[in-house]
Structure 1
């Protein structure tokens, strides 16, 4: 009981440190053993993979040997420089297998298994395969193929016999070649016996000839031919006439004995590794279960020490979460939980004031002030920010409503399609200046005069008789011309009274603030709106004027298109009348031309008849003269 009372007397921080320290210590021990166990399992898995790799490398070596024996040695690359892909493949697989065997032989974990000594035997077996394969490579290089090695020398000997100047029976030579080919094809020694017997017969037939010098040469070539053939047969015996003979048989026997030995070794290593892995898993599970049990007991012990005051705090928080203000908590101690109760009581006071302030905001009282003693906490800052945002939103909504109301007014004005541009401009200026509380304004459009663009003022508002301005402005003059050329809005604020160099269409009385907005439609400037005011215009008001300017530009564009269409229609009608008149004249001309052609045809026919009469008279005259 003394230990339990001592625990209860500790501060919460020390209680938690003791609790979590104990759990942490158990967790660290578990993690250390887990990492060690996992690394051991991974190591055993890697050993299994390495042993499986040995089997794969052995199969690769077997395939490489077969490829080399049947086809690889015949390649010119091997016969010329002794290199071949099958040899490289064999060496690569052998080196990989030897590396694995060396690692297994030096493995500290594997040495405690009964399979440790087997890796040394396997290494000797692999070395034996390597030595036999190297001997096979040497013999096949010596044997050669086609024009290389002993077979190449044999071909040279055959050609010397065949090209001999001595006359001999070609059938005998063909018989020798047939025995030679049969041996290479079937690898049967009876063809060597028949070959040697036929050589003797062939020599007996040759000795019956009388040409002694030529006979000596061909006999020498035949003996050389027989020697080369027998040399090839002998090296074929060393290589192996069958798969079970010679060096081929040795290599095959090596692979056949190594494969089951390697399989036994693989299964043995796998069994040992799986046993170690299972033991590691069991130990890890037991330790984890023990740590879990101890952790639960410690959690229950320490939780019982601090749950009582926490339950009181939780009840208050649950009531607060449900939307109710609980009674303030009674504080009896000054330790952590007592301090937490005091803080919760302060929090309740802040929440109460914040809720009252939020009610003021909800009732529309956006100018209410927050209590300074609560204004620095996060909740207060959030509510004050919300108050600011509400004011901004209200102001923004007022601007939007103002713009929408103004747009509605101007839509009604701009629907008047039958009015002239001047009358429409007067209405637009009047409403715009009154809506913006400006003082003066003018509307300009771009017109053609003598094939040149000019700026014509079509509407004004609030101009006195003594403040007359020119009806037209020269292209590019003053701020009006600058706005048209740059296709952009110009807003000049606080112009000095004596700054007379700035010229505008408003005449001599230069205003304090001048707004010039081009009437654009798809970057095409149709005209300009100029407004003067003794008070500043806000950005949203300038944006509003720009949108109205786009609508006015659309109306101007539509009216110009309508006028241009009407003009083109009149021109087309006039052109149609002219074409009809020309068509009538051409028809009359065509009728006259047709009548003329008919008269000429009649005259041609009459002249033709006259010529025929003259020809007949001439013939009769000739006949009478004769």
Structure 2
């Protein structure tokens, strides 16, 4: 019977594991092959080759284990040709075609779906195979239970036989022990008549051979009970693993099943993780009967506490004298203190993959430790198997999602940019129209003076609105182009130099791209929210909102922010606040998150506090402009930040406006958060009040009524604007025979030196580049261009990039870390020596100490000192009039190029940067420097 139990718990589980491993090998080969075809990166062939070497070993092991089941062997043998066929006709064929760059063969192969048909057939056969094995395991378990029943029947038969012999012997030996023997016989007969209950024990009061017989029988029953319990528990837990594909689900199912078996009142599972530095720590993933989550450690490292020491020593810790205050186990009637603690590491290949901890009111028994010891290998193998499958599925899912998100973000950004440009043009036309109306009004008679004054006032407001939106567009251009610049440069470098990069560089590039993409998405979401509000497209959905959940939601979102900035963050709720109100929960959360985001952004030290209370009736009526008996909540957000001047406390709620709206402001942002919050509050029928004192902090109070119909109103900001045809500035080109003419905007300069087919490139800032196959050079100004002499007669000498860039010293003045990382990486790849200054003031200090730079890249919008002021100081105060300065700016405003040149820039390039255009511009100015030298 023991051999049968071992066979079920070891053989069958190993068969399931090997079958799952073969399935994983096939999936690894298919994933590696597809990754190599998509990227051409040889790193994707590593899992393919490893799986190709492993699957046959797993197959042979599985085949040998099925020697007693010819039907399953035949089912397994039918899979082998399919795997071999896929490896030969799909895997190797596709990889070889990719290495040979045979695109036609790859397209034909994937269009015919040959490999997919094989993998689908193989997956079907593997699922059928596993289903048969599960059925076989179930049947063996039933046979095992029947064997157990037969054993008990045999045991009872032996007991009955022993009883008869004992009675006969007792009659022969002595009448003095008849009474005791009858008691023993009665106890044995009661065991025989019971329904297979191994917990029954024989009780005797004599001290003779009968007592020894009873004690021996009791020990036999105890051992059988222990072994039966351990094996049955092992079988139940092993069967539970089947069909689980998620690691947290596996851990939760394990702890939920095992804790009652150990008579534990508390249990928790920690799984191994690795941090960025390669260190090991363990994270809580599942628990049993956890009453106080805060007292249960979320994670620990090796050697940290008893649980960390158990993981470090790789041994079981058992404690039976816990202090009462260590842990409380609660129920509906009260709380108790467990006094017994059991900590056990789960080992896989001598590595601790998980640690489990149990607490119990009663001491843990020997059979509990035996069961836990036997489960270590099985549970560890299940963890590694499920984790492997999850990792493969996660990588495939992330790859698909990232591709879709980047495409969607690109389309949304383009549409939003076009819409903002149209709005700016419409505002310009409106301002021009109003200026004409003002001129006409000045010619009117005195009786129209009142109307004239009103028009002038209205004109002034529109001009201010236009200026605010102009500033917003400049700041928004910077906010959008800064992360977009990092994405474009790093993605291009990944595309061009992937084979030369190590994994850490690729991961860092990908992290920066991901972070920048997230910043772009948040900016776009803010713009789209405001556009929907202004267009009347926001719908308010009134439903029950659980107020008691709001504190935890806010804590979960902003606790990490508070910890990072070392700020105190509290959310307090008055006891008389109702548990449920009627409003739009999603919009309420967005308003609170906007208010808290501002509070944390402008608070460097101190605290941020949220207070949820019932609103004062008189104050609410004053702000809302109505008398109502409805319940109104007052949710205040208080910070100890920089505060808001009294003259700025109302305009901050207007769209596109901030306390500091300049381009070189210290704090970033678009100025849309409070505007969106105010509009959402209006739609909910509420109001926002602000109280603030400069340098002491601010309090924003949100008044939200309950059970109020949504105030849905559409607004059209452009009803008064006429439709205008968009004009397009740029370059015109005419060709008559062999003659070409090109027109440049005034003071625009173009230099292009190339060889190859004659081409013309047009850029959005109005300049053009023309290249000739005979290596001629053109310099173009306003009007028709003029051709220079042949290159051999011209004063620019050709030199390779390597000769031109290597050893050149460049000063990069930029405050954005992502742009610094991208530009430094790109420039250093060409041999350029780069030094970085985070603002204009630091750049001037570095030039005063060391002025031997070949070129300066100057960002325009920076804190402390912006690019315009810095370039003026470099040119006039430092006297560096010939040092090339290339302005880098994300501001796409009209006249920005002239403004940069007037401030002292030698040339101008817009963000997001085209790296090839950047290097082309460097060639022009570095070559000019070489010629001057």
The alignment's TM-score, normalised by the length of structure 1, stands at 0.31
Higher relative contact order (CA 8 A, sep 6+): 1
In the superposition, the TM-score normalised over structure 2's length comes to: 0.21
More strand by share: 2
